[in-house]
Amino acid sequence: MGASLPPKEANLFKLIVKSYETKQYKKGLKAADAILKKFPDHGETLAMKGLTLNCMDRKTEAYDLVRQGLKNDLKSHVCWHVYGLLYRSDREYREAIKCYRNALRIDPDNIEILRDLSLLQAQMRDLSGFVQTRQQLLSLKPNHRMNWIGFAVAHHLNSNASKAVEILEAYEGTLEDDYPPDNERCEHGEMLLYKISLLEECGFLERALEELHKKESKIVDKLAYKEQEVGLLLKLGHLEEGEKLHRQLLSMNPDNYRYYEGLQKCVGLYSENSQFSPDEIDRLDTLYKSLGQQYQWSSAVKRIPLDFLQGDRFLEAAENYIRPLLTKGVPSLFSDLSPLYNHPGKAVILEELMHKLEHSIRTTGRYPGREEKEPPSTLMWVLFLLAQHYDRRGQYDISLSKIDEAIEHTPTVIDLYSVKSRILKHAGDLAAAAALADEARCMDLADRYINSDCVKRMLQADQVVLAEKTAVLFTKDGDQHNNLHDMQCMWYELASGESYFRQGDLGRALKKFLAVEKHYADITEDQFDFHSYCLRKMTLRAYVEMLRFQDRLHSHAYFHKAAVGAIRCYIKLYDSPPKSTTEEDDDMSKLLPSQKKKMRQKQRKAEARAKKEAEEKHEESSAAGASKSGKRHVKPVDPDPHGEKLLQIEDPLLEATKYLKLLQKNSPDSLETHLLSFELNMRKQRILLAFQAAKQLLRLDAEHPDSHCCLIKFFHKVRSMAAPVTDTEKLIWSVLEAERPTISQLHEKSLIEGNKIFLERHKDSLMHRAAVAEMLYVLEPDRKSEAIKLIEESTYNMVPKKEALGPVWEWKLKDCIAVHKLLGTALNDEQAAFRWKVRCAEYFHYSTYFEGSRSSAKSNTAYNQICKNSENGSANHSEGGETADSLTLNGRLEAFKDLNI
């Protein structure tokens, strides 16, 4: 570096490098300028000056200088290396790799460049290249521990675990007998555990166990040692030793569910689907009773038997488990019990038990068979539990009566209001649910969880302005947008995006959904620093696990929701593109002069309001940005706060396809993925891709209403297409003709017959009848009245649901809302939609969408007038947000004081 410079300037060049490494950028710039005064064309100095400027956010100048330096000295490995670092800082990893490879052609043994290249190869999962680079590093510096470990990890990631074991054994052969010293024992122990996990992965179980016992004295993490040992014993079938070791682990942590599961496997009493014979249940009961006597304070040892016990024994165990938790007042008890509702018959037993406890405490003040009196709060917690039980069963009237009684008993318990809010949300009154959540929040203004719960309820009710002002109470410096984004608060962004989408504000909705997508890109980027850190600190098992997690990162539920939301926005944008300025002027010219004047006044007010809000936010952030030293930290201003630029795209379907490909790769077993693929490809006239999506839907669930609709729509579309002319069209037709007989739903049947057979199979299901009606109208528009009749003849019955919950109402609120929209849009019959709304209002008393008799939509308070048109909480709150804001005092809705539910 700087070899072509005189000694004085060469020392200055070293100072530039040192200043860059120590982040003293101004000092480095000063030294670079001193060299460039005498040697203005020195390539390496120009490159280092550019790299320094890049760290000072002067990227354009940085790229210009580095390119100029590279042009002046094309054979300098320093210039190529710096150019690669520049690309790396902008996440252009492929370009950075090209630059590093060019640098290595000039200086093939440069360890720094090789190390940087290996990090990028690990990041980009160029595993074969990663192996080669780590091998070269090891051959250049074989006395460096990190190079041995890096070479082994590279082979492991490249699916060659046996080679990784050989490399680690070769590394151990270079160590002395008394290794490691005391200050390296943890790192060496981690390396040994990693090696044993590799042997286990290769299937060398006996050898792994032998190695584990041999190196016991050198492994510091004794808990990890025991867990690794017990796993190997179980796989080898050494069940007696495994049982003994599991009991030792339980003595260390008697609340670890995995240890109980392992113990059950050792004694031959484990089942994947939790189905046991009567004899096995007896043995399990005996096992857990003995463990219960040994670990009396363990919660797990009392809870696990509830999963396998049946009948009277389940009742006894449940009572023994629930009683002390009710006395103690554990709000999360129902969450703990809720998995039992999926077990046939247990929900009914739990209901009988809860009523028995309630009756006993009401009449005697004590539990059945007990002489000690219970504290007064026990009755309140029993009512709290019963309210959640009936909420789970969909019996909202009883649920609300129980929670109201509990609130009347003890009006100061915050959890009661939170649960009542949740019940109202399930019942369909999102506006009242938001108000109750706000009431709970105001009872403890320092509780962040309750604040977040309240914000979520407000967003579900489409009170976005109010939700933002509530969320800001717990953000740094009161700058809600930037801070929530910086904290990667994805639940907020998703809920906010969905609310904007419901209101038809596609720009803001897209902005929120794409923000979540950016968080996942940042999470992928965040792994970069760990490629060197984990090898240095020897946290190898955690490192490999982290890389595997990153490989399946985009299959996470939050990303799935964000991608689906973005695709739906783009589809809606394609179907209803925003009006151009010319079209808006044409619309204005059609209005009367008085209407034009009102419209312009409204626009001016909206612009003035937006400008004022922007100025206030800027002042707040400027004031908050002032540090103690008086310096201001200027935050970047969002150039597109409302997402208007996101709507100005030429091809929305092309943008949607980018996210669809990610869903197809990471969520291939989701119906929603293939449903969106079908909708997208039908709009793009990609017939074979649409057919592929329809076939995937049939593979996942052929009886689903959406699968049926897509199949009928597809072949109806194909039938209406013109005869094939080109070779491509003829090929597509031949594929479809060959494939149609393979689809059992339409084999030797017309589309109308297939639709009729589907109805016969699912005549008792509302959503299936709605799907059949929609397809009947698509196939034969003149039979519209018959299609509507199919829906209106659906019966609202109580049916057993998998025999787990006992009889429950068959129709769901969200399904009825979907049917109402179908009647009003696809079938285009406002009268039928109105009749359906009136009918559903009788079934869903609390639904604001259907204006049920007990919903807040029927109340005369000011706030409820705002919420009246809500889609189960909101269909259009674009104007309601401001009014709601005017009714708040410290986030509380004064208009709800007189609301009784």
Q: What is the DSSP string of 383-426?
A: HHHHHHHHHHTT-HHHHHHHHHHHHHH-TT-HHHHHHHHHHHHH
Return the pLDDT at 565.
Answer: 97
The domain limits of the chain are: 7-184, 475-576+649-662
Gap between the Cα atoms of 726 and 734, Å rounded: 12
Helical H runs in 829-892?
830-843, 862-866, 880-886
pTM: 0.87
In a 10 Å sphere around its CB, with 0-12 CB exposed, 13-18 middle and 19+ buried, how is residue 720 labelled?
Answer: exposed
Find the length of the chain.
901
Gap between the Cα atoms of 235 and 206, Å rounded: 10
Return the pLDDT at 588.
Answer: 55
Q: 622 near 632, Cβ under 8 Å? A: yes
Nearest alpha carbon to residue 813 among 335, 535, 426, 364 = 426
**Cα–Cα–Cα angle for 577, 582, 586, rounded to 5 degrees:** 100
- 693-743 residue pLDDT tens: 999 999 999 999 999 999 999 999 998 888 888 899 899 999 998 998 889
What percent of the chain has pLDDT above 70?
87
Q: Please name the CATH architecture into which domain 7-184 falls.
A: Alpha Horseshoe (1.25)
Q: Which residues of the chain have pLDDT under 50?
A: 480, 581-582, 624-633, 801-803, 860-901
**Cα–Cα–Cα angle for 645, 651, 652, rounded to 5 degrees:** 70
Pairing of strands 892-893, 798-800: unpaired
Return the pLDDT at 545.
Answer: 96
Helical H runs in 107-238?
111-123, 127-140, 145-157, 161-173, 185-202, 205-214, 222-236
Distance from chain centroid for Cα 453: 17
Structure tokens at 27: 């000092």
**Cα–Cα–Cα angle for 108, 111, 112, rounded to 5 degrees:** 115
Q: Count of alpha carbons within 13 Å of 427, Cβ hemisphere only?
A: 33
Q: Count of alpha carbons within 13 Å of 521, Cβ hemisphere only?
A: 13
Sequence-distant (6+) residues with CB within 8 A of 743 are 695, 698, 711
